[in-house]
Structure 1
Amino acid sequence: MITAVDVIRTKRDGGELSTAQIDWVIDAYTKGAVADEQMSALAMAIFLNGAKPREIADWTAAMIRSGITLDLSSVGKPCVDKHSTGGVGDKITLPLAPLVAVFDVAVPQLSGRGLGHTGGTLDKLESIPGFDVDMTEAAVVQQLRENGAVICAATGDLAPADKKLYALRDTTSTVESIPLIASSIMSKKIAEGADAIVLDVKVGSGAFMKDFAQAKELAETMVRLGRDHDVDTRALLTDMSIPLGRTAGNALEVRESVEVLAGGGPADVVELTVALAREMLAAAGKSDADPAAALRDGRAMDKWRKMITAQGGDVDAPLPVAKHTEEVVAEADGYVSEMDAYAVGVAAWRLGAGRERQGQPVQFGAGIEILKTVGEQVKAGEPVYRLHTDTPERIDAAKETLKDQWKIGAEPAKRGPIVLDRLA
C-alpha cells in the first residue's frame, strides 16, 4: 500500500520515486486525497534533492493523465505549438501565430495571463475590444481548420494536477526547480495535442532562468520530455537581459506587434519572430518556407486580422490609451550602455500593466515605452522611457524601480545575439 508519508520520506531521504508512487501521488492529489501540506513537503523534497530523468518523465506523464488531451487529428494540417518561459516585452506569440499559419500549418496557442513582472499573452489580446480568449475544444479545432491560428486560454481539463501544484509551488517557494518547471510546462504542452513543440527558453535578468547553464539544463529536460511522448520538440535559448522591442505593457505590445505584422517594428522582435517561425515550419516539414517574406508582403497581417475577427475582436478599433504619461530623461550625453530587463518589467507592473495575484484586473493602457535602448545615442534632457498609467500615484514607484537600472556610457555598446543556442 502506498501512502503520502512513504512517498515524502523516500524523496526526503534522497531516494528515487517509483513509477507506481508517482502515479499514485499525482492521482490522489488531484482528487484531494493528498493534502496540500503533504504535497508541499514532497515539492520541497524534490526542490532540495532533485529528480532523475525517469522520475521527471513519469511525473509529467501522470500529470497529463490527470486530465484530457486535445484531439487535433481532424484539423487536417500539421499542428505546431510554441512556448516561451516568459520575459519582458515578450509579445512574440502575437505576430508568430498568424505568421506560421500563412504556410498551412496550424498553431494551437493556448496561453496564460501575466503574474508579477512578466506579461501575459491573454491580457495583451484582451486589450483588443471584443476579443474572446475562452473557446471550446470544438471551436479551437474549427478555427485551426479554417484559419490556422488560435490564441486562447487553456481549459481546466488540461493537466488539472499541474494547475493545483503550480498554485501550491507559488506559495511555498518551490517554483525554481528544474524537474518541477519542466514537467509543469510540458504536461500542458503535450496535453494540447500538437505534433511538434518549439520552446523559447529565456536567459538573463528579465527571465525566469538568469543563468545560461541552468536555462540549458531546463531546455534539455523539456526537449527530452517531449520526445519521450513522441512529440517533435526543439528549443532556442534566447537573450532576456534587455527588454524585447520598445514596449512593455498590454495594449502597447499589441500596437508594436501590429507594426511587425505590417512589415516594420523593432529589429529584435522581427529577428526572434522569424527565427521561431523557421523552427516551427521546419518541425512541420516546411523548411523551405520564407517567413520574413510573409511579414513584408502582408500575408501575416491578413491572417492576424482573420484570427482576431474570428475570436470576436474589432481589429480596427482603437486600442486603450493610458490617461497619464510621464517621461524619464537622460542626465548626460552619451550612449545607453545597460538596461535591466527585470527592472523595466517590474516598473511596468507597478504602473498597472500586471498583477500581484491571480484574478486581479490589469490596466490595458499601462506600461513603458523604451524611447532609447542599448547602443543608441542620447543627449542630456532627452527622454529614455515614457511611462503610461491610469493612476498617476503609481509613477513615483515605477521611477524608483528604474533608478540606477540603466546606464549611459561614452561609447556605443553592442548588443549580443538574440538567439544564444539551439537544441533540436
Structure 2
Amino acid sequence: MTTPDHHPEPFDAVDIIAAKRDRHRLADAQIDWVIDAYTRGVVAEEQMAALAMAVYLNGLDRAETARWTTAMVNSGTRLNFDDLGKPTADKHSTGGVGDKITLALTPLVASYGVAVPQLSGRGLGHTGGTLDKLESIPGWQAQISTQRMREIMRDVGGVVCAAGEDLAPADRRLYALRDVTGTVDCIPLIASSVMSKKIAEGTGALVLDVKVGSGAFMKDRESARLLASTMVEIGQDAGVTTTALLTDMFRPLGRTVGNALEVREAVEVLAGGGPEDVVELTVALAREMLTAVRVDADPADALCDGRAMDSWRAMVTAQGGDPDSGLPTATHTHEVTADRDGWLTHTDALAFGVASWRLGAGRARKEDPVQAGAGIELHTVVGEWVRAGQPLFSLHTDDPARFDRVLASLEDAWTVTGEEPEPRESVVLERIGD
C-alpha cells in the first residue's frame, strides 16, 4: 500500500485486521501505524470498521489498550500546563441523568488553588451535556481559544469549554465510526476514547465518575468496575494520577433534569444548599481531586464559607456569562401528582432521562438545538412519603404538544407503595485506584 505521494507504508491494513480477527496481539508499531494511517485517510473507513469489530469480538490486552490510547493522543496536540505554577486536576463522568456535578465541582476544586481544565461535551440522547447546561447562562461561551483557556486557568482556576479540533482527532473519527457499526459497547474502545481526550488535555490528575444503573451506559456493577479499572490503568500507564468512583445512576441525580434547571440546582449547592446526593457526590469527587494533587483540605468547607460561589462567579464571568442574570424558563409546565398515599420507592433514571430529552432538553443528532428551559423538576425523591394528590414532578417545555408522549413514556417510571424502601447508604458505591 502507498500514499498518494507514493511513499511506501510499513504495514498493510488487511494484515492488521486479520491478526486481530485471529486473536493475535497487535504490536506497538502496528497500532501506531493503523491509528495514524486512519487519521491521514490511508486506512479506509470500511477497513477501520472491520478492525473495530475484530477488537469488539476479541478485545485488547492492557498493553495494547495503553498503546491504542497513546496513538490516539499522538494523532493531535497534547496540551501542557506545567508552566501555570499550580497543580492540575480534572474529572470525567461517563454520563447520567441529572448529572450536574461538573458545574459545582469545578469552581469548588479551583477555590483551593488547583487549575481544572474541564473539556466537556454536549448531550446526546438521554444523557445531558455540560456545555448545553452552561449555555443556558446568558452570554456564556463554550468555544474559547487555548490561549484564553490558559489565561482563565491561571487567573481564575477553573474553565469548562469545548475541546479543540486538534485534540485526539483520531478518536473523533473512530467514535463516529463505532456509532454506526455496532461497536460502541466495547470496554477497550470506550476506555481509550475517554482517556485519549483526557490525557491530551494535559491534566496531571484525573478522577473518573463511572455511573452504574439504568440511566448509565454501564447497567451493572461488574461491567462498570471493569471499565473503571481499565481507564485507571490507562491513566496510570500514561503518567496521570488516576482514580475512579463507581456511583449510583439507578435514579436521577438530584431533583432536576434539564439544562437551566440543573444550573439552578448547582448554584444552590455552591450556596451551601442543594440536594443531599448532589452535595455528597460533589464533595466526594472534590476530595479525590484534591488528594491526587496533594492538597490537604476538606472541600465541604468551601461550600459553606462562600469561596466556591466566588469561584463560580469568576468562572462564568471569564467566559462571557452573567452570573447575576436570570436563567431561561420553559413557557409550559405540567404537574404529575401521586395517585395514592405511600412511599415513593422507585424513579427510573433512564425513563426520566428520555422524558427530559423528549421535552426538548436533549438532542437525537449532534446538530439538533436544545431548549434551555426544558426538563423535569422532581418534587419528591425515593424514600419520601407522599399523599394522594401531592405533586411528584413537573414537566417543563416550550412545546406543550410534547406532553402526551412524555407522560405515556413515564407511566412505569415511578412507584408509590405502602412499604418503606431501604435507605440508600451512599451515592458512591465503590472506589478504584491506589
Shorter-chain TM band:
over 0.9
Give unpaired runs (5+ residues) of structure 1. none
1:195 aligns with 2:191: no
Q: Indicate the RMSD between aligned Cα atoms, in angstroms.
A: 0.9
Structure 1 position 146, deviation (Å): 0.4
Report the CA distance between 1:19 and its aligned residue.
Answer: 1.1
Report if aligned partners of 1:102, 1:303 keep a CA contact under 8 Å in 2.
yes
TM-score with structure 1 setting the length:
0.99
Residue 216 of structure 1 and its aligned partner are, at CA, apart by 0.6
Q: Offset of 1:412 from its aligned partner?
A: 2.1
Within 5 Å, give how 1:145-160 maps onto structure 2: 145-160=154-169
Identify the residue that residue 348 of structure 1 maps to in structure 2.
356
Aligned residues: 423
- Counterpart of 2:7 in structure 1 is none
Partner of 1:312: 320
- For 2:311, the equivalent position in structure 1 comes to 303
* Aligned counterparts of 2:268 and 2:67: Cα–Cα separation in 1: 43
Q: 2:35 aligns to what?
A: 26
CA contact (8 A) 1:56 1:183 kept: yes
Deviations, residues 160-195 of structure 1 (Å, cap 9, x unaligned)? 000001111111121110000000000000001011
Matches within 5 A, 1:381-392: 381-392=389-400
Distance 2:66 2:83 in 1: 28
Which of 209, 216, 225 is the matching residue for 2:218?
Answer: 209
* SS of aligned partner of 1:305: helix
Partner of residue 258, structure 1:
267
Q: Which runs of 5+ in 2 are unaligned?
A: 1-9
Determine the structure 2 residue equivalent to 1:378: 386
**1:74-107 Cα shifts (integer Å, max 9, x gaps):** 2110000110001000000000000001111111
Q: Which residue of 2 aligns with 1:241?
A: 250
Conservation of the 8 A alpha-carbon contact between 1:74 and 1:141: no
Deviations for 1:206-229, whole angstroms, at most 9, x for unmatched residues?
A: 111011011111111111111111
- Structure 1: distance between partners of 2:85 and 2:18: 48
Amino acid at match of 2:325: A
The AA in structure 1 aligned to 2:359 is L
Taking the aligned partners of 2:258 and 2:387, their CA distance within structure 1 comes to 26
In structure 2, C-alpha distance between the alignment counterparts of 1:151 and 1:142, rounded to whole Å:
13
Native 8 Å contact 1:236 1:422 kept in 2 = yes
2:15 alignment partner, SS class: helix
* Residue aligning to 2:175: 166
CA distance in structure 2 between the partners assigned to 1:245 and 1:142 by the alignment: 33
Pairing 1:139–2:148 present: yes
Contact 1:374–1:415 (8 Å) recurs in 2: no
Q: Which residue of 1 aligns with 2:5?
A: none
SS of the residue 2:394 aligns to:
strand
Return the alpha-carbon distance in structure 1 between the equivalents of residues 181 and 319 of structure 2.
37
Correspondence for 1:106 among 80, 104, 115: 115
1:45 aligns with 2:59: no
Deviations 1:102-153 (A, max 9, x none): 1111111110000000000000000000001111111111111101110000
**1:16 maps to what in 2?**
25
1:360 matched to 2:395? The reply is: no
CA contact 1:63–1:162 (8 Å) conserved in 2: yes
Cα displacement (A) at 1:233: 0.5
8 Å contact 1:323–1:390 — kept in the other structure? yes
Aligned partner of residue 393 in structure 2, secondary structure = strand
Percent of aligned positions that are identical: 64
For residue 77 of structure 2, what is the aligned residue in structure 1? Answer: 68
| In 1, Cα distance between equivalents of 2:220 and 2:413 | 19
What is the aligned counterpart of 1:180 among 189, 193, 199? 189
Q: Which amino acid aligns with 1:350?
A: R
Equivalent residue for 1:7?
16
Instruction: Report the Cα offset of residue 259 of structure 1.
Output: 0.4
Which of 257, 261, 285 in structure 2 is aligned with 1:276?
285
Cα pair 1:75 1:142 within 8 Å, conserved: no
Maintained 8 Å contact 1:249/1:366: yes
Give the whole-Å Cα distance in 1 for the aligned partners of 2:356 and 2:280. Answer: 24
Contact 1:169-1:175 within 8 A present in 2 as well: yes
Q: Does 1:333 align with 2:341?
A: yes
Deviation at 1:329, TM superposition (A): 1.5
Is this contact kept in 2: 1:200–1:236, CA < 8 A?
A: yes
Which residue of structure 2 aligns with residue 324 of structure 1? 332
Q: How far apart, in 1, do the equivalents of 2:132 and 2:122 lie?
A: 6
User: What is the aligned counterpart of 2:408 among 400, 403, 406?
Assistant: 400
Runs of 4+ in structure 1 deviating by more than 4 angstroms, as ranges, are none
Paired with 2:46 and 2:330, the residues of 1 have a C-alpha distance of 43
Cα deviations across residues 235-266 of structure 1 (Å, max 9, x unaligned)?
Answer: 11111111100000000000000000010000
Any idea what SS the aligned residue of 1:326 has? strand
Secondary structure of the structure 1 residue equivalent to 2:364? coil
Q: 2-side partners of 1:185 and 1:127: how far apart? A: 26
What is the CA-CA distance between 1:15 and the residue it aligns to? 1.6
Cα deviation for residue 416 of structure 1 reads 4.0
User: 2:299 & 2:426 partners in 1: Cα distance?
Assistant: 20
Match of 1:123 among 119, 127, 132: 132
